[in-house]
Structure 1
Amino acid sequence: MPNAFYGIFNENKVILDKGETSHLKIVRLKENDEIKVFDGKGNIYYCIIEKIKKNETICQIKTKETYIKKLTPEIDFYIGASKFDRMKILIEKLVELRVNNIYIFHSKKSQLKFKTIEKFKKTIIESSKQSENPVFPEVGFFDLKDIQTIKNPIVLDLTSTKSLKDELNHMSKVEKISIILGPDMGFTEEEILKLPENRVNLGDTIMRFETAGIYTMSILNYFFDRLY
C-alpha cells in the first residue's frame, strides 16, 4: 500500500482520482483523516480528507513542503522495450534508486511494441508513492536513430572489455550520465555498430535484463554517493 497518495492541485484543494480513492478506501481512511499527497513535481501536501466520493476524493491542504534536494549526477536510463512484467520490475527499482528520467526505445529485437506510455507512468507513480519520492521521474519514448544525441552515454555491452568502474573514473565531475540498456533479446549487429563507443561490461556473469539495470543503478549511487 502507498506511503503517500498522488493528487492534482486545484484551487487550494487536492483532488485524488478514482484509483487513489480506491486505495484510500482499502486502507480504511475516512473523512477528517490526515494524509500525505505528492504532485510528482516535488510538492508535498499534508491534507485533511474533506469528502470521499465514488470516483474522487477532495482534500483540504493543511501545510505544504517543497522537496529541493538535487541528486548529482542526474541519471537517465534508456531501456529497450521488452516483456512488460520484466520492465515493470526494472522501472520500480530504478524509481526507488532515484533515477531522473526513463526513456523507452523499440529495437529490432524488441518482442513488444508499446503504443502508449501510460502503463509506465502508472508504474512510476505507484513506486514513487511507496518509496516516498516526491519528484517523479519523467518517462517517454525515444527513437533509437537519435542515439548519438544522448549526453555522456554508457552502453551496457557483454562484448566490451572495459569495466563500468573504469568508465566512471573518467566521469567524476559530469552533471548527467545516460545508461543505455538493450532489450532482453539484445541488439542486432547493425544496431551495435550505430551505438556510442562508450561501452562497458558488468563482469564475468550473465545477468537478466532487469538485474543488469538495477545493478548498474546501484553502482552509480554508490560511486557518486548520490543518496546522501
Structure 2
Amino acid sequence: MPNIFYGKFLNEKIFLDKNETAHLKIVRLKENDEIKVFDGTGNIFLCKIEKIKKNETICEIIEIKRYTKTFKPQIDFYIGASKFDRMKILIEKLVELRVNNIFIYSGQKSQLKFKSLEKFKKTIIESSKQSENYLFPKIDFFKFENFKDIKNPIILDLTAQNTLKNILNTLNQPEIVSVILGPDMGFSKNELNNIPNHFHRINLGNTIMRFETAGIYTMSILNYYYNRLY
C-alpha cells in the first residue's frame, strides 16, 4: 500500500484518526516527517507530522494541490444488498476502476438489510489509499421504487436476450450510465415484471458469474468501451 493517508481538514491543520495513526506507526513515520494526505474530495495535502498521539495525529500543511482528473461518462452502480464480504470485494474493485457513485438498495431477495454505511465507507477509504484515488465515490442508500428516475439504466438480467455491447452502441455519448446489479440471490420475478420499459436489460453471456464478478466485469467493459481510464 502506498504511504498515503486519509485525513480531515480543521482549523488550518490536518487530523488523522485512530486507524490512520495506526498505519502511520506501522510504517514507522515520526514527528517532523513529511507525508501526503488526501481528504476524498480531491484535495491533496503535503504535510509535516506535528504531533503523534495515541489515537490521533496532527499535521501541519506545507502545500495543497487539487486533483482535477475526471472520468467520463459518469458511472453509477446500484447494488442489491448482499453478504458483506462479497459486497466489500465488489466495492473495493469499483473504487479502483473509478466508479463515480455507489447506491445500495434492498431487493426482495436480499438476505440482509444494512442500517449503516460506515463499513462501506471504510472500504472506500482503504481501496482509495491502495489505488491513490483522491476523489471518493459517493455512497448512499437507495429505494428500489426510485429506479424509474435514473439515467440510462442498464440492468443485469439473466433472462435478457440483449448484450451489453449492443446497448452501448445505441447510447449516444451519454453523460451518465447507471448499472443495476441484483443481490447475490438475484431479482425476484415481481421485480423483473415491474421494470420500466425504457430499462436496458442485458445478459453477460453463457457463463455463470458470482455477484461481485458480474459487477467487476461490467465496470471493466464500460471503462474499456469509453476509454475512461486514459
Q: Tell me the SS of whatever aligns to 1:37.
A: strand
**1:210-221 paired onto structure 2 within 5 Å:** 210-221=212-223
Give the gaps of 5 or more residues in structure 1: none
2:64 aligned residue: 64
Are the counterparts in 2 of residues 2 and 130 from structure 1 also a CA contact under 8 Å?
yes
Counting only pairs closer than 5 Å after superposition, residues 1-228 of structure 1 correspond to structure 2 as 1-196=1-196, 197-228=199-230
What's the CA shift string for 1:45-76, capped at 9, x where partnerless? 01111100011100011111101111100000
CA contact (8 A) 1:50 1:60 kept: yes
Report the Cα distance in structure 2 between the residues aligned to 1:153 and 1:181, rounded to whole angstroms: 11
Distance in 1 between the 2:153 and 2:205 partners? 19
Q: What's the CA shift string for 1:72-121, capped at 9, x where partnerless?
A: 00000000000000000000000000000000000111111111111111
Q: Indicate how the Cα distance of structure 1 residues 25 and 223 shifts in structure 2: closer, same or farther if over 3 A, else same.
A: same
On the 8 A contact 1:3/1:132 being kept in 2, the answer is no
- 3-state SS of the aligned residue for 1:169? helix
Superposed displacement of residue 20, structure 1: 0.8
In 1, Cα distance between equivalents of 2:172 and 2:92: 27
Q: Which runs of 4+ in 1 moved over 6 A?
A: none
Aligned counterparts of 2:2 and 2:54: Cα–Cα separation in 1: 20
Question: 1:227 Cα deviation (Å)?
Answer: 0.4
Deviates more, 1:74-83 or 1:61-70: 61-70
Question: Matched residues in 2 for 1:2 and 1:78: separation?
Answer: 29
Instruction: Name the CA shift for 1:3/1:96 in 2 (closer, same or farther; >3 Å).
Output: farther
Post-superposition offset of 1:3: 3.6
The one-letter code matched in structure 2 to 1:225 is: N
* One-letter amino acid of the counterpart of residue 226, structure 1: R
1:10-41 superposed Cα distances (whole Å, 9 cap, x missing partner): 12210001111111111111111111111100
Normalising by structure 2, we get a TM-score of 0.97
Letter in 2 for 1:223: Y
Q: Which moved more, 1:76-85 or 1:193-202?
A: 193-202
Deviation at 1:2, TM superposition (A): 4.8
Partner amino acid for 2:229? L
Count of matched residue positions in the alignment of Structure 1 and Structure 2: 228
Distance across 2 between alignment mates of 1:91 and 1:156: 17
**How many Å apart are 1:195 and its aligned residue?**
2.2
Post-superposition offset of 1:204: 1.1
Q: Match of 1:224, as an amino acid?
A: Y
**2:178 is aligned with what amino acid?**
S
Consecutive unaligned residues of structure 2, counting only runs of 5 or more, are: none
Whole-angstrom distance in 2 between the partners of 1:106 and 1:98: 24
- Amino acid in structure 2 at the alignment position of 1:100: N
**Amino acid across the alignment from 1:14:** I
Moved more, 194-203 or 103-112: 194-203
Give the RMSD, CA atoms, in angstroms.
0.9
